[in-house]
Amino acid sequence: MKMTFNVNGTSRSEEAEPRTLLVDYIRTKLRLTGTHIGCDTSNCGACTVLLDGRPVKSCTVLAAQVEGRSVTTVEGLAKGGVLHPVQQGFHTEHGLQCGYCTPGMMLVGAALLERNPAPSEEDIRWAISGNICRCTGYMNIVKAIRKAAETAAAAAAEPAGVA
C-alpha cells in the first residue's frame, strides 16, 4: 500500500506492506539511517523519532499509523547547516561516547525544550527516562540538554540586530 507522510518537512510517499514498522520504513525506504534499531522491543529508545512533535519509539509504530502526520528524525534537527541547540549542547558537553543512543536522546531533548524551555535537572532526567545509554552514565547527556536550554535562552535574549 502507498504511505504518505511528512518527514523532516518534506512529504514522502513510498509503497510498503502494512506490516512495515516505522523504523524500517525510515531506514530502508527513505534511507535515513540516523534512526537506530537497538533492542527492537520498545525498551531502549534508540529508534526514537518525533511524531507531530512528541517522541515515540518507531520500532513499535506501524508506518501505516502515521499516514498524513509529521515525523522528525535526527536528520531534521539541523537547519540550513546550523546545528540545533541540542546538537550543539551534545558537542560542547561531550554528551556521547559510542553515539548509538544519541539521535534518540537529542530528539527527546529537543521535544522537551519545545514544551519546557527551562527544564530542571529532574525534568531532563524524567524526559530521557525511556532512553537507555550504556556508555555515559547519563551525566553529560543531562548537561548537554541543560546547555542547549541555556544557549537557546541566551539567543532569545540577545537584542535583534546586534552582532
Partner 1 sequence: MFPAAFDYSAPTSLEEVLRTLAERGDDAKVLAGGQSLIPLLKLRFATPAIVVDIGRVPGLDGVSRENGSLRIGARTRHAEVEAAPDLRGKLDALLDAAPQISDPLIRNMGTVGGSICHADPAGDWGAVMLALGAEFVVRSASGERRLPADGFFQGPFTTGLRADEVLTEVRIPLPAGRAGGTYLKMERKIGDFATVAVAVHLTLGDDDHIAKAGIGLCAVGPNSIKATAAEAALVGQAPSEAVIAEAARLAGEAAEPKDDLRGTAAYKRDVVRVFVQRGLRTAIQRATGARS
Contacts with partner 1 by CB under 8 A lie at 1, 17-21, 24, 40-43, 45, 48, 51, 54-57, 60-62, 64-65, 67, 108, 126-127, 129-131
From the CB of 42, what's the least distance to partner 1, in Å? 6
Q: Which is nearer to partner 1, 37 or 83 (CB)?
A: 37
From the CB of 131, what's the least distance to partner 1, in Å? 8
Q: Which is nearer to partner 1, 53 or 99 (CB)?
A: 53
Q: Which is nearer to partner 1, 91 or 117 (CB)?
A: 117
Q: How many CB atoms lie within 10 A of CB 71?
A: 25
From the CB of 155, what's the least distance to partner 1, in Å? 26
Q: Which is nearer to partner 1, 42 or 92 (CB)?
A: 42
From the CB of 82, what's the least distance to partner 1, in Å? 27
Q: Which residue has the cell 531502549?
A: 44
Please report how the helices 139-157 and 85-92 are oriented relative to each other, as an axis angle in degrees rounded to 10: 130
Query: Exposed/middle/buried for 18, CB within 10 Å: 0-12, 13-18, 19+?
Result: exposed
From the CB of 160, what's the least distance to partner 1, in Å? 34
Q: Which is nearer to partner 1, 87 or 131 (CB)?
A: 131
Residue 110: C-alpha distances to residues 65, 69, 87, 88 (Å) = 23, 19, 9, 11
Q: How many CB atoms lie within 10 A of CB 127?
A: 21
**How many angstroms separate the CA atoms of 27 and 32, rounded?**
5
